[in-house]
Structure formats: C-alpha cells, structure tokens
C-alpha cells in the first residue's frame, strides 16, 4: 500500500484557508475541532480506492440514522443520535478533503451533499417529534413535522438564491450582497447572530440540545424537558424562516 502523506501535505491541499475562513462555508464545529480530526481520517482514506461520493453517501446515512436513533427510548437513543451527527459532520469534512486530494470533483457529489443536509436535519426533527410523543399526545408528532418542514424551507430559501441568480445569468452572490439594506432587519440579524439561537435549526446543535434534554429527562423521570426542547426548536425554526426570507428580499442577493 502507498505510504500515507504527511499531515502537513494533507492540510495544505485539503484544507484551504479560504474555505475554513468562509463565514457561510464552514460550520463552527468544523473550525473548532472536527477539521483537526478529519485530517487524520483523510490522511488514511486518500491511500484507499474509496471515492468522495461514497463518503458523502456515508454522511447521509449517518444523518438520517440520527433521526431514527431518537426512536430508541431514554438516554441511549439521544446519545446515539448525537454521536451519529458528529459522524455526519466528520464525513461532511472528509468527503471534500478526499475530493481535493484526488482531484475528483463532481456535480453529483455537490448534489448529494446538499440532499444529505436536507434529509439529515429533517429526519432529526421528525425523530424528535416522535420521541416527544412517547407517553404523550400525538400532537408532538405534528410539532416535529413542522420543525422538519421549517428546516427544509430554511435551506431551500438559501439554495434558491443561487438558482435564481444562475437562471438570471448572474454570478454567485458574495458576502457583501448578503447584507440587508434595511436597518431594522440588519439590527435583528445582528441580534440573532449574537444570541446564536439560529443554531438550534441545525441538526448538529439540535442533537446536542436533545441529548441535554434527555439527561434532564432521566434525572427527573419525565419527558417534559424533551418536549420543551422540541417545541423550542420548532418555534425558533419558524421565526428564522420568516426572518431569513425577509433578509434575502431586503439584501442585494437577488439584484
């Protein structure tokens, strides 16, 4: 087998600074710790025939599996869901790094990556609703479905900006174009950014919030903390849907 490249070599090729510094292109957990871990995995994977697309599909399976794991009652289900979402993040880092090293880029890989983000977050919200409904009314299933629809709309509203610009013959929007022209919306956006509440709409953060709620469930012997968390996630999601739509329409992204 071919000798593994050094970590320095892999980092230089697979983790370009522009990518890591991008405000919208890199999850905070990736910058904080996962890119350090993914570098070691990528260093070994580039020696194998595994394709980037295979790694992307593995990412999808981990994300959807996290939603299914929430159907397991008690702490084990919540722990497994959180672990699977960490693996989701790991493979989300590794697939692109392997693609850069092997120079194997494809539209299919980009498509499956975006599809996986939709499916993983939506599956987690559905699983959270089903989990909240255990021992309670069926209305919690609807709350989970509402949260799932909200996170899909959030992602779609962002992706549709690129679709609209491409169909209008415009280049991709830069960071400057994303700034709202309305002072009120800009102030609300800064407040949301400071409070970080929008992160609850992301499956990685939501899985950790649900794990924390499961711990409290186990301590007090009630499923109410999980139900409160699911309700909070659904509420924040729909507030963000409205706010994000307003931000897009008040910025220069479509002009």
Q: Tokens for 216?
A: 């409290």
Angle at which helices 107-133 and 74-102 cross, to 10°:
170
Top pLDDT among 66 and 9 is at 66
| Straight-line distance from the first to the last Cα atom of the chain, in angstroms, rounded to the nearest whole number | 52
In a domain, 255, yes or no: no
Instruction: Please tell me the predicted confidence (pLDDT) of residue 32.
Output: 87
Full domain range(s) for residue 117: 7-250
Count the domains in the chain: 1
CB within 8 Å of 59: residues ≥ 6 apart: 87, 88, 91, 92, 95, 113, 116, 120
DSSP string, 183-232: HHHHHHHHHHHHHTGGGGGSHHHHHHHHHHHHHHHHHHT-SHHHHHHHHH
In a domain, 14, yes or no: yes
Top pLDDT among 232 and 1 is at 232
Instruction: Please tell me the predicted confidence (pLDDT) of residue 19.
Output: 60
What mean pLDDT comes out for the span 35-39? 92
In a domain, 193, yes or no: yes
In a domain, 2, yes or no: no
The total of other beta-carbon atoms located within 10 Å of residue 118's CB is 18
CA-based max dimension of the chain:
59
Instruction: Please tell me the predicted confidence (pLDDT) of residue 73.
Output: 93
pLDDT 10s digits, 41-58? 999 999 999 999 999 999
Instruction: Please tell me the predicted confidence (pLDDT) of residue 101.
Output: 94
In a domain, 1, yes or no: no
Q: Tokens for 233?
A: 């996630």
Distance CA 214, CA 76 (A): 9
pLDDT 10s digits, 158-180? 899 989 988 988 887 765 555 65
* Range scoring the smallest mean pLDDT among 12-21, 28-37, 38-47, 228-237: 12-21
Top pLDDT among 25 and 66 is at 66
Instruction: Please tell me the predicted confidence (pLDDT) of residue 171.
Output: 85
Q: Tokens for 78?
A: 């919540």
CATH at residue 190: 1.20.120.1760
pLDDT 10s digits, 73-116? 999 999 999 999 999 999 999 999 999 999 998 999 999 999 99
What sign for the dihedral angle of Cα 180, 186, 190, 195? negative
Top pLDDT among 204 and 135 is at 204
Distance CA 41, CA 92 (A): 12
Report the predicted TM-score, pTM, of the whole model to 2 decimal places: 0.88
């Amino acid at each position: 087998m071919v000798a593994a490249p050094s970590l320095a070599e892999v980092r230089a090729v697979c983790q370009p600074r522009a990518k890591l510094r991008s405000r919208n292109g890199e999850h905070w957990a990736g910058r904080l710790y996962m890119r350090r871990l993914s570098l070691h995995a990528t260093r070994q994977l580039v020696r194998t025939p595994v394709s980037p697309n295979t790694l992307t599909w593995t990412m999808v399976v981990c994300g959807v599996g996290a939603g299914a794991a929430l159907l397991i009652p008690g702490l084990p289900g919540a722990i497994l869901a959180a672990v699977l979402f960490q693996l989701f993040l790991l493979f989300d880092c590794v697939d692109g790094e392997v693609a850069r090293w092997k120079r194997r880029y494809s539209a299919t890989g980009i498509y499956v990556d975006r599809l996986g983000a939709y499916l993983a977050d939506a599956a987690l919200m559905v699983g959270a609703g089903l989990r909240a409904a255990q021992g309670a009314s069926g209305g919690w299933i609807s709350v989970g479905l509402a949260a799932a629809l909200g996170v899909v709309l959030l992602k779609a509203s962002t992706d549709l900006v690129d679709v609209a610009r491409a169909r209008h013959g415009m280049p991709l929007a830069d960071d400057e174009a994303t700034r709202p022209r309305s002072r009120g919306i800009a102030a609300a956006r800064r407040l949301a950014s400071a409070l970080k509440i929008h992160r609850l709409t992301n499956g990685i953060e939501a899985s950790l919030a649900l794990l924390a709620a499961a711990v409290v469930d186990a301590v007090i012997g009630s499923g109410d903390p999980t139900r409160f968390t699911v309700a909070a996630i659904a509420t924040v999601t729909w507030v963000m849907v409205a706010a994000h739509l307003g931000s897009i329409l008040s910025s220069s992204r479509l002009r």
